[in-house]
Amino acid sequence: MKRELVMLVAEDDPADADLLRIAMRRAGVTNRMFFVKDGEQAIDYLRGKGEFADREKYPFPTILLTDLKMPRRTGLELLDWLRQHPDCKVLPTVLMSGSALPNDIHTAYGFGAKSYFAKPSSLDELTELMKVLNQYWSATELPEINARCE
């Protein structure tokens, strides 16, 4: 039996976060989603630190969706942090960015991204992408991960 996906979304732009919520709702994605504002807050969530210590309220994610360019810690810095933490480096991580620069894409995959998407320019395209991502990751066998990344 497949377990429910729990998505952690790191997105610093409130408008983009709202568009993701709308697109996911329109795509019929019913998974639990938790939004954080940057890579630093994503790490706090993964470590179960501070406000995220309650794993009943903030369950460990099965997939991480992150923006590339964020304050405090970028998506690439978040990937680098994951790579350095054996309990976390297997967490499927998807980058979505306004940048489709070849160097950004190459670096993201080099740091362990499992997928990289340029942010779609319309809500319909974003909805379709969220539907495809949900279907793909829902059908994928995912690793069991420790409840905290230390």
Chain segment 3-33, per-residue pLDDT in tens? 678 999 999 999 999 999 999 999 999 889 9
Q: Which two tokens stand for residue 31?
A: 């998974």
Task: Report pLDDT digits (tens) over 28-65.
Answer: 998 899 999 999 999 999 999 999 999 899 999 999 99
In this predicted structure, the answer to whether residue 87 has a pLDDT above a threshold of 50 is yes
In this predicted structure, the answer to whether residue 143 has a pLDDT above a threshold of 80 is no
User: What confidence score (pLDDT) does residue 147 get?
Assistant: 62
> Residue 88 — very low, low, confident or very high, per pLDDT cuts 50/70/90?
confident
Sign (positive or negative) of CA dihedral 38, 44, 46, 48:
negative
In this predicted structure, the answer to whether residue 1 has a pLDDT above a threshold of 50 is no
- Listing DSSP states for 50-95 in one string gives GGG--TTTSPPPSEEEEESS-SSS-HHHHHHHHHT-TTTTTS-EEE
> Span 109-133, mean pLDDT?
93
User: What confidence score (pLDDT) does residue 138 get?
Assistant: 86
User: What confidence score (pLDDT) does residue 90 get?
Assistant: 86
CB count within 10 Å of CB 68 equals 25
Class of domain 6-139: alpha beta
User: What confidence score (pLDDT) does residue 86 get?
Assistant: 79
Residue 131, class by beta-carbon neighbours within 10 Å (0-12 exposed, 13-18 middle, 19+ buried)?
A: middle
> Residue 125 — very low, low, confident or very high, per pLDDT cuts 50/70/90?
very high
> Span 75-87, mean pLDDT?
89
User: Rounded to the nearest 5 degrees, what angle is found at the Cα of 15, between the Cα atoms of 34 and 67?
Assistant: 60
User: What confidence score (pLDDT) does residue 23 get?
Assistant: 96
Domain ranges of the chain: 6-139
Integer angstrom CA distances of residue 54 from 44, 106, 148: 12, 36, 11
